[in-house]
A = this chain, B = another copy of it.
Amino acid sequence: MAADPRFHAVAGPLPLWRLAEVAEVEVPEGAGDRLFTSVATLGAAGPEDVSFLDARRWLDSLRETRAGAVVLAAENARAVPEGCIALVSPTPVLAFARIAALLHPPATASGKRHPTAVVGEGATIGEGCEIGAYAVIEDGAVIGPRCIIGPHAHIGRNCVFGADCRIFSHVTVTHCLAGDRVTLNPGCRIGSEGFGFATTPRGGHVTVPQLGRVILGDGVEVGANACIDRGSGNDTVIGPGTRLDNLVMLGHNVRTGQGCIIVAQAGISGSTTLEDYVVVAAQAGMVGHLTIGAKARIGAQAGVMADVPAGMDVVGSPALPVRDAMRGFNVLRKLGQSKAAATAEKKTGD
């Protein structure tokens, strides 16, 4: 099944040679003029669709695909069925992404400003921006050229965005300076007051003024309903190209390097630093004031309570290096399955 044209732009049909050009793949002789309209998974694709293979476990699906062409690694090209064109790439998903974006170009700013949009005094809107119904851009904000501001988005006073940003509906942004090509998915909250307070001797909590900002580097993406609090004194800083999934929580003064990946529902406590290209899997958590070294990988649901050296993989809660954690877990599992455990269980009545 191809992409539903009610929801996705359709640029095709396009000849294979154009797709191959953006994907940097070779086209078999004589196939360059064959036309393609869309992309689809191996199981859903038809003769006018391009598909892809990203892992060997889908080889069976590849053998049965009806796709007109498949992007894949050289080692898997022999499994392509007859009539299907193998497009060989050292980076099949990347090549596929480029083909998909050519056939179904992402939306660009229409240049239209809805009459209900409120733009405050001294706010600057760049050329070609699209501003949705009921968007509110407060005094002094600066929006770069060709940005898309969705319906009901709220951009706070004096916030700055670079060029080609996408700020979807219901987003709140305050106390923020953002670069180019930043994407803020629906309902994310950027710049809210961090969770900082002092407790009086009598037990009351007094807010510590949160006087920092949020700095978003070029190409940062933030998922739906995710939250990034502003710094408490220093800034919260998200490095260029870092991507946050939905419902992620970053506390005040968190800093990430470039190209980090933080998957859904993960949370990072205040003042923790991620160096470049750290990967944090879903629902993982980190206490505050840690340093996670470059290219470290934090497992799903891990609970990180200490610094992690560069390049290390940790899992578990509290988190341990992956080998130690898995061994401990295996021992535990065997204990749980053993007769001895069952016996002990009966004896103690637990």
**A-side interface residues toward B, CB under 8 Å?**
1, 3-4, 6-8, 38-41, 43-44, 90-91, 93-94, 96-98, 100-101, 104, 106, 114, 116, 118, 132-134, 136, 140, 150-152, 154, 157-158, 168-170, 172, 174-175, 183, 185-187, 189, 192-193, 195, 197-201, 203-209, 211-213, 219, 221, 223-225, 227, 229-230, 233-234, 241, 243, 245-247, 249, 251, 258-259, 261, 263-265, 267, 269, 276-277, 282-283, 285, 287, 300-301, 303, 317-318, 320, 323-337, 341-342, 344-345, 348, 350
Contacts and interface: CB of A to CB of B under 8 A. Distances in A.
A189 B187 contact: yes
B344 A334 contact: yes
Given A204-B241, A227-B264, A265-B265, 12 more contacts: A7-B174, A40-B234, A44-B234, A132-B136, A136-B152, A205-B243, A247-B249, A283-B285, A327-B335, A327-B341, A330-B348, A331-B341
A170 B151 CA distance: 11
A323 B344 CA distance: 13
Contacts of A8: 175, 209, 211
Interface of A is mostly: loop
A187 B206 contact: no
A267 B243 contact: no
A89 to B, nearest CB: 10
B195 A189 contact: no
B172 A233 contact: no
Given A211-B8, A246-B195, A329-B318, A94 B269 contact: no
Contact of A223 (B151, B195, B207, B332): B195
Nearest to A42: B233
Given A116-B118, A195-B223, A211-B8, A186 B185 contact: no
Q: Please give the count of copies of this chain that the complex contains.
A: 3
Contact of A246 (B157, B249, B325): B249
B199 A94 contact: yes
B320 A328 contact: no
Contact of A205 (B90, B241, B327, B334): B241
Nearest to A299: B303
A344 B331 contact: yes
Contacts of A233: 3, 39-41, 44
A219 B197 CA distance: 13
Contact of A203 (B96, B277, B334): B277
A331 B330 contact: no
A334 to B, nearest CB: 7
B317 A344 contact: no
A337 B348 CA distance: 14
Contact of A151 (B154, B282, B283, B330): B154
Given A39-B211, A172-B187, A336-B320, A203 B328 contact: no
A100 B208 contact: yes
B327 A337 contact: yes
6 contacts: A6-B140, A7-B157, A41-B233, A44-B234, A106-B207, A334-B348
